[in-house]
Amino acid sequence: RLSEERASHPIFRHNGRYAEMVTAELAGEFEAPLYGMLAVRQRLDEIDWGDLPKPAISLYGQPLSEDDTVLLWDGEWEVTYVTFRDMGAAFGVALVGIYILVVAQFGSFKLPLVVLTPVPLTFLGIMLGHWLFSAPFTATSMIGFIALAGIIVRNSILLVDFIRHSGGPVTVETLVEAGATRFKPILLTALAAMIGATVILADPIFQGLALSLLFGLASSTALTVLVIPAIYRIFRT
């Protein structure tokens, strides 16, 4: 039985602005906040608002005006957004630092681009791993991707340096020999890290880190041995 009664309604404020708090717990196949946010956006789009103004959706920050209704995501999403933003900025600074160091090492502005080429391509392998395991891309996944950058660059530097010191013109035979010579140590390094990552593969928190390391190392190993010599030859010719 439902009845209508008059009751006092508390007035909430958030950062000095009038607000209504709506809380919920994520549940289902994906528990990352982004997937729940996308589901809510889809439901809002399906509603027939009629003469009522449809609320705008803000991912971060404060609404510019209190005159319009705004759905502002907070809580776990804000923590996730700040984490990815800060780690992304730190990753960019790290790549610039690596570029400067490689320029100082080889005395060339082109070779560092060859060395850094596998870094963004490795992300494809990481996303493939998350898709195969039906796992969300979390903050620990991003940490694993950032950690991989150092390993990838090191292997690339060793391979490029080996090619440079081989002597003579850069031929296909020289590149194949360099890749074959460096393949075993690169593979052993990757396998050692991948075996260590399997320990945390079943952990619900660090699974993203394990997937990034496992599939990132697998893809980066192939990319380093196959892609680096090809791109190096293009730059040299």
Residue-level pLDDT at 20: 74
Q: Which two tokens stand for residue 103?
A: 């320029």
Domain locations along the chain: 12-74, 77-236
Residues contacting residue 161 through CB under 8 Å, at least 6 positions apart: none
CA distance readout (Å), 57 to 31, 48, 61, 139, 168: 20, 17, 11, 23, 61
> Using an 8 Å Cβ cutoff, are 57 and 77 in contact?
no
What's the distance, CA 48 to chain centroid? 36
Q: What is the pTM of this model?
A: 0.70
Topology of the domain covering 77-236? Multidrug efflux transporter AcrB transmembrane fold (1.20.1640)
pLDDT means over runs of 10, the chain (237 residues) = 65 72 70 73 81 77 72 76 84 89 85 85 89 85 86 84 75 80 84 87 86 90 83 78
Residue 165 sits at φ, ψ, to 5 deg, of -95, 5
Q: Phi and psi for 117 in degrees, rounded to 5?
A: -55, -45
Residue 74's pLDDT is: 76
pLDDT at residue 142 in the model: 86
